Amino acid sequence: MSQTNSFDYGGAFSRNVGWVTGAEQQKLRNSRVAIAGLGGVGGAHLLTLARLGVGNFNIADFDGFGLHNFNRQVGAFMSTIGRPKAEVVAEMVREINPEADIRIFSQGVTVDNLDEFLRDVDVYVDGIDFFALPARRMLFKASYDKGIPALTAAPLGMGVSFLYFKPGGMSFEKYFRVDGRSENEQYARFIAGLSPAMLQRDYLVAPQAVNFQERRGPSTMMSCDLCAGVMGVAVLKVLLGRGSLRPAPWAMQFDAYHQKIKFTWRPFGNANPIQQLMLLLIRPLLEGRAKPS
């Protein structure tokens, strides 16, 4: 087959057709996805959706790439150290689809630009750093209030945990129930809600790598890739209205290390008795009074 330097959308994404129809591919082309946070999972989400043929994005990140990002972030290279993440990954998307419409929010998402960030958006995809709970809560609340489906895929160990917040269904706040809690308690509730099955907890071989006071923890590229795959399929299903997708209080966790998948259902979210028991186990870990088993 002869190669040319000219871009043709139909040719570029023709191999998607079969799993989607031609009409569905055009719907993806005309859809707009917002992604906040463009590091480990966010950058992988963006490139996966770009290769799916989604044609329009609102993306936000205020950070630049560093050497510590190399193990998991798709835009992290020697040539991009110090460069803004949003600028780098936008360039990568345009290399995939020069016709993509990308609105870049290089200061991240703030109270002042929140409405603009979510303008014209069909789906919100969460890629924010684990420790940025205030920004995450703001984005999920705004998405819920605007009737925008919001999804998160958390990289846990060598697996993924997925949550879907459906408009009119259980909200992020009602699921995690962090309002008015201390910072450590908010983290504990976020962990418990993200990972009700806790499939990853027994193969953390260096617990000292987890330090909530210093806001750092271990990560893997395998986990980020799994997150992007799960998220890409979920976004496709939401945008095309195809197939079922269990919303919160359902959660799904797949752990590649253990080769296990588990669906959990937690009515009342973190107010569920099972979640309350889990919080009793998590709190000492955050306070440094115990080590993961």
- Tell the residue number behind the tokens 């699921």, with chain if given: 175
Sheet containing 123-126: order of strands:
101-105, 56-60, 32-36, 123-126, 150-156, 159-165, 250-255, 260-265
Enter the tokens of residue 282. Answer: 């998590």
Q: How far apart are CA 49 and CA 11, in angstroms?
A: 17
Under a CB-based contact definition with an 8 Å cutoff, are residues 102 and 49 in contact? no
Q: Sign of the C-alpha dihedral, residues 32, 35, 41, 46?
A: positive
pLDDT of 216 reads 78
- With a CB cutoff of 8 Å and minimum separation 6, the contacts of 224 are 40, 41, 44, 72, 73, 74, 155
Q: How many CB atoms lie within 10 A of CB 205?
A: 8
pLDDT of 3 reads 56
DSSP state of 165: E
Enter the tokens of residue 15. Answer: 């191999």
Pairing assessment for the beta strands 159-165 and 56-60 based on DSSP bridges:
unpaired
Enter the tokens of residue 95. Answer: 């290399």
Q: Which residues of the chain have pLDDT under 50?
A: 1-2, 289-293
E-assigned strands of the chain? 32-36, 56-60, 101-105, 123-126, 150-156, 159-165, 250-255, 260-265
Q: How many CB atoms lie within 10 A of CB 241?
A: 8
Enter the tokens of residue 28. Answer: 């993806």
pLDDT of 225 reads 97
pLDDT of 288 reads 63
Enter the tokens of residue 18. Answer: 């079969």
- With a CB cutoff of 8 Å and minimum separation 6, the contacts of 104 are 59, 60, 86, 87, 90
Residue 271 host element (H or E) = none
pLDDT of 1 reads 42
